[in-house]
Amino acid sequence: MLFQFRHVSKKKPVETQKSSTVREYILHDLLFNINAHVPQLILGPSGSGKTTLLRLCNRLTDPDSGEILFRGQALTAYDVIELRTRIGYVAQVPVMLDGSVLSNFKYAIQKLNKNLPNGEEFEEECKELLRFLNLPEPFLYYETDRLSVGEKQRVALARTLLRKPEVILLDEPTSALDRTSTFRFLETINKLRDEMNLNMIMVTHSIDQAKILGGNGIVLVGGSVVEQGPVAEIMNNPQTEITKQFIEGMLDN
């Protein structure tokens, strides 16, 4: 078992709870498991708590109650740096430091308090990864402000992969991409799953993407899990009215 969520709740900060129209919880009483080696999709309309759920997985945020286990052990029992090395996070909008792609890659390793491998060896490793992600090798020496959003998103993925995570958390990674870049990104994701056997948890509100990626799904609405199971089953035979509405696009505006 990769992750176990045991009655996990996360409240909104007190100041936003004052208005009676705002619900108190961002996430409420989450109870589910995430298996290893099966892609896990977190589905749901915007504002349903997907990003918060993902950020709980490597302690970018912590629950107010309940417990999360990673490989059978409480998340809080791990050293945070070790945890974030093993569980990499790719944000919705890629953030790069000024300077070259190479300097961004170096920084990602240094931040882990790890020594950089010798220069040439490290550059070769970076290039190999770029090739794997279907990015041109010379990208390594590009200034990051020359990259398109789609290229940045794949470079951000490469930067996370360099740290050799066991799990990657992807938060709507294609939301800023056009159709072609989205398709390429999804191809890359499937390649990582098939060839690197990487565990992934991906947030999406796109039904089309969910169908392409498959795996297991959790449908989150209003901070609660309304349905879970294999994505294909959820799509073909939704068990709740609210899941049907989500699939039909009635919950997003």
Ligand X SMILES: Nc1ncnc2c1ncn2[C@@H]1O[C@H](COP(=O)(O)OP(=O)(O)O)[C@@H](O)[C@H]1O
Would you tell me which residues interact with ligand X (CB under 6 A)?
A: 12-13, 16, 26, 44, 46-52
d(CA 4, CA 123): 37
Indicate which of ligand X, Mg ion, none lies near residue 13 (CB less than 5 to 8 Å, by partner kind).
ligand X
d(CA 167, CA 39): 10
Residue nearest to Mg ion (CB): 51
Q: Which is it for strands 40-43 and 216-221: parallel, antiparallel or unpaired?
A: parallel
User: What Rg, from alpha-carbon coordinates, does the chain have?
Assistant: 19
Do the Cβ atoms of 123 and 106 come closer than 8 Å? no
Three-state DSSP at 92 gives coil
We find the least distance from the C-beta atom of residue 51 to Mg ion, in angstroms, to be 3
Indicate which of ligand X, Mg ion, none lies near residue 228 (CB less than 5 to 8 Å, by partner kind).
none
We find the least distance from the C-beta atom of residue 56 to ligand X, in angstroms, to be 10
Does the CA dihedral 130-134-140-145 come out positive or negative? negative
We find the least distance from the C-beta atom of residue 177 to ligand X, in angstroms, to be 17
Which residue, 30 or 101, is less far from Mg ion as judged by CB?
30
Of 80, 180, 85, the closest CA to residue 134 belongs to 180
Which residue, 30 or 101, is less far from ligand X as judged by CB?
30
Which residue, 21 or 113, is less far from ligand X as judged by CB?
21
Residues 1-60 interacting with Mg ion (rule: CB under 5 A) = 51
We find the least distance from the C-beta atom of residue 50 to Mg ion, in angstroms, to be 5
Indicate which of Mg ion, ligand X, none lies near residue 52 (CB less than 5 to 8 Å, by partner kind).
ligand X
For residue 161 the two structure tokens come to 């992969």
Residues of the shown chain interacting with Mg ion in the complex, contacts defined by CB under 5 A: 51
